Amino acid sequence: MHLKTAACLLAGLLAGPALAEDAITYEVEDSFDNVTFAIENAIIGQGLVIDHLSHTGEMLERTRSDVGGTRTIFTGADVFSFCSATLSRRVMEINPANVQYCPYGIFAYETPERPGIVVVGHRDYPEGEMQEVEDLLAAIVAEALMLED
């Protein structure tokens, strides 16, 4: 399944790294399911294994009344967690404290206020050896959203 052609066109207009509180984000016009399917395929396509898929939006909606929530935050929100043994070893041999960044994650969400617009992103890692990890995450997102380099 591929993202709709309109999504690709809009991605070119809307996408562009936009820093949002330690995250690099992109926006695309498509269904949440199409976008998350594309992210999953792009991660697997890099030869990586998804360790965990957190359905954060579902959890928040399911527990909304239990915790005193008053509104629906997301119509969909997932976080994909995964690691690269090769890349992780390389950055952790340089600095063992880089373990704090593993596993790596890519998130996607859609809000009720902006139906059909899915935000996809990943952390903005510190300069230095972690830039290689950020480059991998950017490449996965670019493939998933069919962004041009």
pLDDT tens digit string along 104-137? Answer: 999 999 999 999 999 999 999 999 999 999 999 9
pLDDT at residue 66, as a whole number: 95
pLDDT at 3 over 80: no
Q: Which of 24, 26, 32, 22 lies closest to 14, judged by CA?
A: 26
> Confidence band (pLDDT; 50, 70, 90) for 22?
confident
Residues 6+ apart with CB under 8 A from 145: 3, 7, 8, 11, 15, 26, 28, 35, 38, 120
Domain count, the chain: 1
pLDDT at 146 over 80: yes
Q: How many residues does the chain have?
A: 149
Looking at the domain assignment, is residue 72 inside a domain? yes
Q: Which of 87, 98, 144 lies closest to 121, judged by CA?
A: 144
Q: Which of 117, 116, 122 lies closest to 141, judged by CA?
A: 122
CATH at 74:
3.30.310.70
Looking at the domain assignment, is residue 8 inside a domain? no
Looking at the domain assignment, is residue 5 inside a domain? no
pLDDT at residue 148, as a whole number: 74
Looking at the domain assignment, is residue 52 inside a domain? yes
> Confidence band (pLDDT; 50, 70, 90) for 149?
low
Looking at the domain assignment, is residue 36 inside a domain? yes
Looking at the domain assignment, is residue 122 inside a domain? yes
pLDDT at residue 13, as a whole number: 40
41-86 pLDDT, tens digit per residue, is 999 999 999 999 999 999 999 999 999 999 999 999 999 999 999 9
Looking at the domain assignment, is residue 117 inside a domain? yes
Looking at the domain assignment, is residue 79 inside a domain? yes
Q: 100 is in which domain, residue-wise?
A: 18-145
